Amino acid sequence: MWDIYQNYIYIDFTFKYQYNNLEKKLNYKNKVINVDSNKMINGDNNFNSYLAGLFEGDGYITISRGNNQSKNKISRIRKIIIGITFHIKDLPLCEDLKFKLQEGWIRIKDKENACVLIFHTDKALMIFVDTINGYLRSPKIYKFNLVIDYLNLKYSLNIIKHKEDYSDISSNNWLGGFLDADGGFYVRYTNSTKLRIACTMTLEQRMIEPMSNLSYEPLFLEISKFLKTKLNISKHNENKSYFMIRIHNRNSLKIIIDYFNCYKIYSSKYLDYLNWVTVAKLLLDRSAYKLDNRKLIYNLKHSMNNKRRYFNWDHLSNL
């Protein structure tokens, strides 16, 4: 896989896209943009909420303004770019998201071992906004709504700016997307003085959204409440502070398993989750320390995360 994409810098595809219940047609650089007032992807609640969570974890919005003298900050916006960053090993997911949305282009960042799904045309912005609008839960909604203001002003639209989604975390796949971006699944197997087996899941994000100066604390408190665990603060990356949730108790393990019985993650973390959930169920059944299971758990641990060498992407057929 690494050799295939090593020499690629940009990958750009174009797809025909379709909407149902077309309501408006706008001219943009001599092209026709079709705008639907309903949700994109046929109102796929699980996909739309997943993409919103993924964006709020590893997504960004870049806004460039011109030099005109207008007091209206929105009218001075010259260019908007929305991007979602992935590890290079998750390029198949990046490509499938692009195909499903039927817009965007992919940039390969060799030095960072990353790829980025980028939406930079007004048509792509409209499709992306239409897909996740109403599903956002984090302070990133502030900048997201500036994109809506820009599109509404430029094309005389009336796209609704929703407030944060305060529905139960368990009501859709937002947490799945957020975990795919900022979470991790880990198995502990230590056998120095005493054998210790444990499953942990972590979720981490910055404390403050820079542009709006809004805190992620209310969101992380809501997630920690759902997972029945406490909210922690971690420090790394030049001693910067982050909100962090770490689960390992039996009740929290059950909640995560029940959640992913209903919803899915789609990055390579899904493969790590399969290893993780196997061990978690053995722990819940109180059979993890049986001799026959110890070797299994050891092997599962040593084929996860950065030790994974085999990737099966069959689960993307459910995206």
pTM, to two decimals: 0.86
13 vs 17: CA distance, rounded Å: 12
Nearest-5° angle of CA 10, CA 13, CA 19?
140
Give the pairing type, strands 183-191 and 59-65.
Answer: unpaired
Q: What is the pLDDT of residue 41?
A: 52
> Is residue 261 within a helix (H) or strand (E), and if so which, with residue range?
helix 250-262
Q: Hey, what domains does the chain have and what are their CATH numbers?
A: 2-155 (3.10.28.10), 174-318 (3.10.28.10)
Q: Which two tokens stand for residue 184?
A: 């991790």
**Angle between the 174-182 and 45-58 helix axes, to the nearest 10 degrees?**
30
Which among 177, 175, 202, 203 has a CA at the least distance from the CA of 187?
A: 202
Contacts of 44 (CB under 8 A, 6+ apart): none
Which among 237, 298, 305, 295 has a CA at the least distance from the CA of 269?
A: 305
Which among 266, 146, 252, 120 has a CA at the least distance from the CA of 199?
A: 252
List the chain residues with pLDDT less than 70.
1-43
* Secondary structure (3-state) at 179: helix
* Secondary structure (3-state) at 282: helix
Distances (CA, A) of 127 to 48, 63, 119: 11, 18, 9
Give tens-digit pLDDT for 240-277: 899 999 999 999 999 999 999 999 999 999 999 999 99
Give tens-digit pLDDT for 263-318: 999 999 999 999 999 999 999 999 999 999 999 999 999 999 999 999 999 999 99
